[in-house]
């Protein structure tokens, strides 16, 4: 076995801080549990899902000789971190990043997975593995015990006949799923593998919301988002740039779809760094008949947009990073919204009132007014100075 220095991995361009790490004990346990399978795999038979920053992919390559690894990560920042870490370790040629689907999983016999938090995300991953991988595929799904629940085993049991649970090590565990079922039990009789994305009608707001497993809020409408929807009619949609308006961190695209439906002449750009969000938002636009006016792209913040180019940005910022509550990501989104807004352009934001974002919005974007507040949320509009 050769050597690999996990300490050299970085999270960049994701938020970095002293209490946030680029690899964890679950990465090490997954690699150890899968060691024999990895070492006997032929080129192209190993797939890595939801690697955080590259520890699984680069560990499988450097420590266990896996080649032709195919990788899918929902977070663009994770994908970019893997690429940078691979370049730093001289392993850029060891893997390819792909969308969740057939090209990723066809013929896979060893799949490594950092368990996602959401059961829906796990459901879509497991169902896609079973749909496309080899009949003798082995899935090594690990995580920190504090984030694991027995409901995860139940999800895996829908798709696999056998689940073995590893011993615990450094507060981590691995579920080894084998004997994939040809047709998932609950879905037998329905279209077996067409369950994602799922769509739900919301007649109260006149929208259909479509969601892949890992998308924020699934097919429901988040209560903060629902509150921001009440203010759509007050947003300045006259200010037209190339983008018209931007839904930053669009998730399933609720805000973009609702704005487009309300303003038949407007063009909207919806962006998110999550692959599942982007696929979901595209499906939502089609379901609401606005796909011709809403462009959905995967981007980290608004990196692909020029300075001072937009008149309106809507944002319901995230405030959880993995397990740790951290304002870093919201601040990064505020910063980039400020860069992309033209002078006089508006940032409409909804946030949990206890987060007290008003002063930071004042400082980063421009004069910020509270336009609404309910028991939980505050809606502000910040005008770019
Ligand atoms: C609270 S959710 C809101 C989703 C959607 N706008 C809604 O209201 O239902 C925040 C979204 O921000 C996205 N996000 C997080 N970090 C991001 C980044 N660096 N760039 C773009 N989007 C990001 C997440 O993937 C998530 O979909």
Cα of 146 vs centre of ligand 1, distance in Å, is: 24
Cα of 321 vs centre of ligand 1, distance in Å, is: 11
Mark whether 67 and 170 lie in a shared domain: yes
Q: Number of helices (H) and strands (E), helices first, in the chain?
A: 12, 18
Indicate which residue's Cα is closest to atom 6 of ligand 1. 250
Higher pLDDT, 103 or 187: 103
* Number of the ligand 1 atom closest to the C-alpha atom of 315: 6
Q: Tell me: pLDDT of 183 over 80.
A: no
Q: Tell me: pLDDT of 28 over 50.
A: yes
| Whole-number pLDDT of residue 16 | 86
Average pLDDT over residues 366-380: 98
Average pLDDT over residues 7-23: 92
Question: Quick check: is 67 in a domain?
Answer: yes
Q: Tell me: pLDDT of 182 over 80.
A: no
Indicate which residue's Cα is closest to atom 11 of ligand 1. 249
Mark whether 205 and 186 lie in a shared domain: no
Average pLDDT over residues 256-268: 96
Q: Tell me: pLDDT of 243 over 70.
A: no
User: 1: pLDDT confidence band, cut at 50, 70 and 90?
Assistant: low
* Number of the ligand 1 atom closest to the C-alpha atom of 300: 20
Average pLDDT over residues 203-220: 97
Mark whether 10 and 151 lie in a shared domain: yes
**Helical residues (DSSP H) of the chain, grouped into ranges:** 25-33, 35-40, 55-64, 76-88, 102-105, 119-132, 150-159, 223-229, 254-262, 275-287, 328-340, 358-364
Question: Quick check: is 113 in a domain?
Answer: yes
Smallest CA-to-CA distance from 254 within 292, 195, 304, 199 is with 199
73, 81, 202, 272, best to mutate for ligand 1 pocket (most atoms within 8 Å of CB): 272
Q: Is 359 exposed, middle or buried (0-12, 13-18, 19+ CB in 10 A)?
A: exposed
Question: Which of 168, 192, 216 is a domain's end point?
Answer: 192
50, 214, 216, best to mutate for ligand 1 pocket (most atoms within 8 Å of CB): 216
Mark whether 231 and 370 lie in a shared domain: yes
Residue whose token pair is 């993995």: 322
Question: What is the tens place of the pLDDT at every residue in 157-166?
Answer: 999 999 999 9
CA distance to 244, 289, 338, per residue, from 236 (Å): 10, 23, 16
Question: Quick check: is 1 in a domain?
Answer: no
Question: What is the tens place of the pLDDT at every residue in 60-99?
Answer: 999 999 999 999 999 999 999 999 999 999 999 999 999 9
Mean pLDDT of the residues in the chain:
93
* Number of the ligand 1 atom closest to the C-alpha atom of 228: 8
Question: Quick check: is 208 in a domain?
Answer: yes
Mark whether 75 and 202 lie in a shared domain: no
Question: Contact 15/321 with Cβ under 8 angstroms?
Answer: yes
| Whole-number pLDDT of residue 222 | 97
Smallest CA-to-CA distance from 71 within 63, 117, 60 is with 60
> How many other CB atoms are there within 10 angstroms of residue 40's CB atom?
11
Pocket of ligand 1 (CB under 6 A): 216-217, 222, 225, 249-252, 254-255, 271-274, 277, 300-301, 316, 318, 329
* Number of the ligand 1 atom closest to the C-alpha atom of 75: 25
Question: Which of 192, 219, 238 is a domain's end point?
Answer: 192
Cα of 274 vs centre of ligand 1, distance in Å, is: 8
Cα of 319 vs centre of ligand 1, distance in Å, is: 9
Mark whether 105 and 215 lie in a shared domain: no
Mark whether 236 and 253 lie in a shared domain: yes
Indicate which residue's Cα is closest to atom 17 of ligand 1. 273
Question: Quick check: is 230 in a domain?
Answer: yes
Question: Quick check: is 144 in a domain?
Answer: yes
16, 212, 223, 251, best to mutate for ligand 1 pocket (most atoms within 8 Å of CB): 251
Question: Quick check: is 376 in a domain?
Answer: yes
Mark whether 89 and 119 lie in a shared domain: yes
**Structure token digits, residue 159:** 């798709």
Q: Measure the CA dihedral 188/189/194/200, to 10°.
A: -110
User: 30: pLDDT confidence band, cut at 50, 70 and 90?
Assistant: very high
Mark whether 67 and 182 lie in a shared domain: yes
Higher pLDDT, 244 or 312: 312
209, 249, 314, 351, best to mutate for ligand 1 pocket (most atoms within 8 Å of CB): 249
Q: What percent of the chain has pLDDT over 90?
A: 88
Mark whether 209 and 180 lie in a shared domain: no
Question: Quick check: is 294 in a domain?
Answer: yes
* Number of the ligand 1 atom closest to the C-alpha atom of 319: 1
Average pLDDT over residues 175-197: 71
Indicate which residue's Cα is closest to atom 27 of ligand 1. 251
Domain interval for residue 248 = 198-383
User: 184: pLDDT confidence band, cut at 50, 70 and 90?
Assistant: low
User: 155: pLDDT confidence band, cut at 50, 70 and 90?
Assistant: very high
Domain total for the chain?
2
Question: Which of 173, 192, 211 is a domain's end point?
Answer: 192
The CATH number for 21's domain is 3.40.50.150
Mark whether 159 and 99 lie in a shared domain: yes
**Structure token digits, residue 320:** 């959880």
| Whole-number pLDDT of residue 192 | 47
pTM for the whole thing? 0.94
| H or E element, residue 380 | strand 377-383
Mark whether 179 and 211 lie in a shared domain: no
Cα of 315 vs centre of ligand 1, distance in Å, is: 8
Q: What percent of the chain has pLDDT over 70?
A: 93
Question: What is the tens place of the pLDDT at every residue in 191-208?
Answer: 445 589 999 999 999 999
């Amino acid at each position: 076995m050769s050597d690999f220095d996990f300490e050299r991995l970085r999270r960049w361009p994701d938020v970095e801080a002293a209490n946030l790490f680029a690899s964890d004990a679950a990465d090490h346990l997954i690699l150890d549990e899968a060691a024999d399978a990895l070492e006997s795999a032929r080129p192209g038979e190993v797939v890595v899902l939801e690697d955080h920053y590259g520890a699984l992919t680069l560990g499988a390559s450097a420590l266990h000789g896996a080649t032709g690894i195919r990788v899918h990560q929902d977070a663009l920042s994770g994908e970019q971190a893997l690429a940078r870490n691979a370049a730093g370790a001289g392993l850029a040629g060891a893997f390819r990043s792909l969308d969740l689907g057939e090209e990723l999983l066809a013929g896979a016999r060893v799949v490594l997975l950092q368990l996602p938090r959401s059961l829906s995300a796990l459901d879509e991953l497991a169902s896609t593995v079973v749909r496309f991988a080899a009949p003798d595929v082995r899935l090594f799904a690990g995580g920190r015990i504090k984030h694991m629940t027995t409901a995860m085993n139940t999800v895996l049991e829908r798709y696999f006949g056998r689940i073995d649970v590893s011993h615990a090590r450094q507060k981590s565990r691995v579920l080894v799923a084998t004997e994939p079922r040809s047709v998932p039990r609950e879905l037998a009789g329905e279209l077996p593998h067409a369950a994602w994305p799922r769509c739900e009608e919301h007649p109260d707001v006149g929208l259909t919301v479509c969601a892949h497993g890992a998308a924020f809020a699934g097919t429901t409408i988040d209560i903060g988002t629902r509150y921001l929807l009440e203010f759509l009619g007050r947003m300045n949609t006259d200010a037209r740039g190339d983008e018209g308006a931007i839904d930053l961190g669009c998730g399933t695209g609720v805000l973009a779809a609702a704005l487009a439906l309300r303003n038949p002449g407007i063009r909207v750009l919806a962006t998110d760094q999550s692959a599942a969000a982007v696929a979901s938002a595209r499906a939502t636009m089609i379901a609401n008949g606005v796909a011709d006016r809403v462009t959905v792209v995967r981007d980290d913040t608004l990196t692909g947009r020029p300075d001072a180019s937009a008149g309106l940005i809507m944002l319901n910022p995230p405030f959880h990073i993995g397990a740790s509550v951290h304002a870093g990501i919201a601040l990064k989104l505020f910063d980039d919204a400020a860069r992309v807004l033209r002078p006089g352009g508006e940032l409409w934001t909804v946030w949990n009132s206890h987060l007290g974002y008003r002063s930071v919005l004042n400082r980063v974007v421009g004069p910020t007014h509270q336009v609404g507040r309910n028991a939980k949320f505050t809606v502000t509009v910040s005008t770019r100075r």
